Amino acid sequence: MEEGSEKQKMNDYAHKKVIVGFQGVKGSFSEQALIEYFGKDVAAKNVSDFEDVFLALENNEIDYGVLPIENSSTGAITEVYDLLRQYGFYIVGEKCVKVEHNLIGIKGTKLEDITEVYSHSQAFGQSKEFLKTYVDWKLIPYKNTAMSAKLIKDENQKEKAAVASRRAAELYGLEIIASNINFNKKNYTRFIVIGKNLDLNDEVNKISVVVSTPHKAGELYGILRHFAEHDLNMLKIESRPIIDRSWEYFFYIDFEGNLNEKVVEDAIKLIEKNSSFFQLLGNYKGDNNSNPKLR
């Protein structure tokens, strides 16, 4: 999408008084993704947990929700995948955000003061090379990075630190003790935008579905072959266990395409026909930072 149309889209969201939900507090990467996608003038509503975003959308408290779904260093956020299937809302957009983690604490905190570090488990995973050099630190998983920063501000103890963004440090008056501690310097998180309705247009170029197959030889191939036969580029496949059927799985698949195209429509029909479970998760404009080969 051109820069001018991006700005117009953001102005439209603000003018229509759209409310967008995100998990966490100000300074979180989810809030950053929200601002980059919808613009800084859109109304935002923060909630405590990922599922609260889905519940707020279900109860018409928000118009859209923004959620992290995948990180380039640590992989899928599996809870969000499961919630997508359970609630049946659609992915209507995505935003890829560069993530830089920092060790932050109250003013005057030094590395030798620290005994406890708080952050989201994903942030710990993305910073594991730095953290493993401090074996005496107790790593305590918390709801998200910005909420961890707020906790450190409220606790006001030099023994406690957080892994969070530079913006979170600024918002909560904290100091950066060590900067850019994530081991992958090209560390990105892909966020999805969810809504109640599909919004099909000529610009959408990415489709997400979830399928399952009978637990028999060749069944998954019977679905995947339709992508090759219809010349559709598969971008990602992620498996999640079916809770009440041991060793059987839901397969979440992203691929290029627009549902208005005949070849895509034909492929979707065949995939659904050969699946024991099929759900369309969305057709939306992919972010080129996470899909550099998208048309």
Instruction: Kindly report the average pLDDT of the chain as a whole number.
Output: 93
Residue ranges and CATH numbers for the domains of the chain are 3-99+187-195 (3.40.190.10), 102-178 (3.40.190.10), 206-284 (3.30.70.260)
Condensed to tens digits (0 to 9), the pLDDT of residues 108-147 reads 999 999 999 999 999 999 999 999 999 999 999 998 999 9
Question: What's the pLDDT band for 223 if we cut at 50, 70, 90?
Answer: very high
Which tokens in the block code for residue 18? 């759209």
252 Cβ partners below 8 Å, 6+ apart? 81, 85, 208, 209, 210, 236, 237, 238, 239, 240, 281
At 1 the pLDDT is 47
Pairing mode, strands 19-23 and 64-71? parallel
- The gap from C-alpha 188 to its chain's centroid, in whole angstroms, comes to 10
State yes or no: pLDDT of 5 exceeds 90: no
Residue written as token pair 């501000």: 153
Reported as type and span, the H/E element at residue 254 is strand 249-256
State yes or no: pLDDT of 54 exceeds 50: yes
Max alpha carbon distance in the chain (Å)?
Answer: 63
At 154 the pLDDT is 97
Judge contact between 45 and 56, C-beta under 8 A.
yes
Active site residues: 189, 191
Taking CA atoms, 122 is separated from 134, 163, 186, 243, in Å, by 18, 10, 15, 23
**Span 62-73, mean pLDDT?**
97
pTM of the model: 0.89
Go through 145-179 and write b for each residue having 16 or more CB atoms within 10 A of its CB, e for each that does not: bbbbbbbbbeeeebebbbbbbebbbebbebeebbe
CA distance 95 to 66: 9
At 2 the pLDDT is 54
Q: Show the CA angle centred on residue 209, arms to residues 206 and 213, nearest 5°.
A: 145
**Span 290-295, mean pLDDT?**
58
CA distance 168 to 26: 7
